[in-house]
Amino acid sequence: MSLTGKYDPDNIFAKILRGELPCVKVYEDDIVLAFMDIFPQAPGHVLVVPREAARNALEMSDDALAAAMPRVKRIGNAVKAALAPDGIMIAQLNGAPAGQTVFHVHFHIIPRSDGAQLGLHAGGKADMDELTAQAKTIASFLD
Ligand code: AMP
């Protein structure tokens, strides 16, 4: 899907936001839902999904984007405190040619370690018990 087209209300993240599909939740409020990426590019890979129905960041309202970014920062800091990575990548992809695979806007928070290659985008599925433990640890730094 390129940058033109319509928002599909049945995309997988819209279903997660509506509670129709499960997720390993890290945080939620009226602006965003954050959960573990089930095909993580590194341990601790979190997705922050704004609730606004927009395909990508370029289509978000200024207000929703302005409200989402402090949440990305706060959750990024919780990942930093919980996992003490060497670095943290914050990524957001717009359109399939840019690598986007789910067409509801979201921000990736990906811990990085010195010398470790970034895992494949949407690669191998994580162990659900490990994801749940990571989510719990990260969430404990958001209290
Ligand atoms: P993007 O390619 O930027 O659209 O990112 C979509 C991300 O969603 C990828 O990193 C996938 O691993 C991840 N993903 C896909 N389905 C799910 C799901 N059901 N729960 C959690 N993460 C998912």
Condensed to tens digits (0 to 9), the pLDDT of residues 15-26 reads 999 999 999 999
Atom of ligand 1 nearest to the CA of 41: 10
Please give the pLDDT value at position 63: 98
Please give the pLDDT value at position 2: 78
Q: Which percentage of the chain shows pLDDT scores above 70?
A: 99
Q: What's the mean per-residue pLDDT of the chain? A: 96
Convert the pLDDT of each residue in 51-109 to its tens digit.
999 999 999 999 999 999 999 999 999 999 999 999 999 999 999 999 999 999 999 99
Contact 75, 138 (CB under 8 A): yes
Q: Is the pTM of this model over 0.85?
A: yes
Q: How far is the CA of 115 from the centre of ligand 1 (A)?
A: 24
Q: Please check the confidence at residue 123 and state whether its pLDDT lies above 80.
A: no
Q: How far is CA 141 from CA 77, 106, 137, in A?
A: 8, 21, 7
Most informative mutation of 26, 33, 102 for ligand 1 (most atoms within 8 A of CB): 102
Please give the pLDDT value at position 45: 97
- How far is Cα 111 from Cα 44, in angstroms, rounded to an integer? 6
Q: Is the CB of 54 under 6 A from ligand 1?
A: no
pLDDT band at 122 (very low <50, low <70, confident <90, very high): confident
Buried b (16+ CB within 10 A) or exposed e, 111-131: bbeeeeeeeeeeeeebeeeeb
Q: Please check the confidence at residue 139 and state whether its pLDDT lies above 90.
A: yes
